[in-house]
Structure 1
Amino acid sequence: MRAGRYDAIVMAASSGGIDALRIVLGALDARLRAPVLIVQHTASENGHALCELFAAASVIPVIEAEPRQPIVGGCAYLAPPGYHLLVEAGPRAALSVDDKVCHVRPSADVLFESAADVWRSALIGVVLTGANDDGAAGMLAIRSRKGLGIVQLPDEAEMREMPEAALRLAGADHVLRLAAIGPLLNQLCG
């Protein structure tokens, strides 16, 4: 695969995800040209605190997504607590308080499916640690449009249910340890 084929990255994590996302975001290069859109399931209502935590580990800016916000490369957008994050043509961020999906809001499936509609084969989906099956249907949507699927090695995940569900339903192009995910994203989107 040649570098630069992919225009956007969507990432999802649940239980154990804060540490996992800090590792992946911390490995991203400042020259990353793709936007990164993130769903982290959390009981916290303070998305700003999560952004600060992730930004401290990352050389790319990490911000809480806002409605109708243009999505630009080299920036990470975090779904606010209690809102589904979607991608609309433009591309622009959209937020929704529609029903929970897989018992959560924000939902990886909602983000992944909407992003797959916009970026199609130019999208990379990443499923990390978590204790439910959110992200599996979204990964299937990405891979069915010829996008690339990356899943954290379940044996390494703090909670293996999300990675295993994604692998069962959609498979993956790469099943990797956390330390290898960021460098691969840099290679593919540099």
Structure 2
Amino acid sequence: MTSDQRTQQRYSVLAVASSAGGIKGLGTLLSALGTELRVPVLIVQHLDRKHRSYIAEVLARRSLLPVKLAQHREPVEAGTVYVAPPDHHLLVGSDGRLSLTSTDLVHFVRPSADLLFESVAAAYGDQALVCVLTGTGVDGAKGVDTVKAYGGTVIVQDPLTAEFKGMPDAAVATGAADFVLPLEDIAATIRGLVDTKRQ
């Protein structure tokens, strides 16, 4: 994405985090995002660190957008979904390139939603859009606070509709959520936000 495009668009990136129940939730979200989303999508899904993951292949079956495991130092492209590999934190820099690290676990997990969201906030500021879906634990709560502090926008799955409400509950409790929505309504909201021009 060029700097001119980033100047025109209200949002320049979408970051999504999920844990327990997340494969189903992500599939529902991705299948409804359409084929022409004008931002890259970065996903952290908590996975068993000991096993090879087929998450990209599984999600690709539901997604109308191309899905791939993120690679270290690759540049992000609009309309592509990048999934954190098992046992690696996923971050993005201000140069639009991804980083994979094996630094310490955060809230007992790696990859960490908090680290992804914090990197997105620092790189994209008020052009960051993040979403917390179903999951156990509190990962993502600190990150959405950071995104909000940088002027970004936070969407959280309504805990009452989440298969596991720990992560959504923790995110809502921060007070940083701009939208708290049933899973089925999130994709349409994202599309509407991404299609909005900067004022």
Sequence identity (%): 42
Preserved contact between residue 13 and residue 129 of structure 1 (Cα < 8 Å): yes
When the two chains are superposed, the root-mean-square deviation of aligned CA atoms in Å is 1.2
Task: Give the TM-score taking structure 1 as reference length.
Answer: 0.95
- 2:123 matched residue in structure 1: 118
Q: 1:107-127: CA deviations, max 9, x gaps?
A: 000100011100010011100
Aligned counterparts of 2:70 and 2:89: Cα–Cα separation in 1? 10
Moved more, 165-174 or 22-31: 165-174
**Post-superposition CA distance 1:25-66 (Å, at most 9, x none):** 11012110100000000116323x110111110110111000
Partner in structure 1 of residue 142 of structure 2: 137
Distance (whole Å) between structure 1 residues aligned to residue 68 and residue 133 of structure 2: 20
Specify the SS of the correspondent of 1:155.
helix
AA partner of residue 52 (structure 1): E
Deviation of 1:4 after TM superposition, in Å, equals: 4.1
Once residues 95 and 191 of structure 2 are traced to their aligned partners in structure 1, the CA distance between those partners, rounded to angstroms, is 23
Q: In the alignment, residue 46 of structure 1 is paired with which amino acid?
A: R
Kindly report structure 1 stretches of 4+ aligned residues shifted beyond 4 Å. none
- Number of equivalences: 187
Instruction: Please state if 1:187 is matched with 2:173.
Output: no
- TM-score (normalizing by structure 2): 0.91
Give unmatched runs, 5+ long, in structure 1.
none
Match of 1:12 in 2: 17
Which residue number in structure 2 is paired with residue 31 of structure 1?
Answer: 36
Please, which runs of 5 or more residues in structure 2 have no aligned partner? 1-7
Letter in 1 for 2:85: P
SS of the residue 1:134 aligns to: coil
Contact 2:16 2:41 in 1 (8 A): yes
Separation in 2, partners of 1:55, 1:33: 18
| Counterpart residue identity of residue 143, structure 1 | K
| 1:46 matched residue in structure 2 | 52
SS in 2 for 1:68: coil
1:137–1:170 Cα contact (<8 Å) kept: no
Q: For residues 15 and 86 of structure 2, what CA distance do their matches in structure 1 show?
A: 17
Secondary structure of 2:61's counterpart equals helix
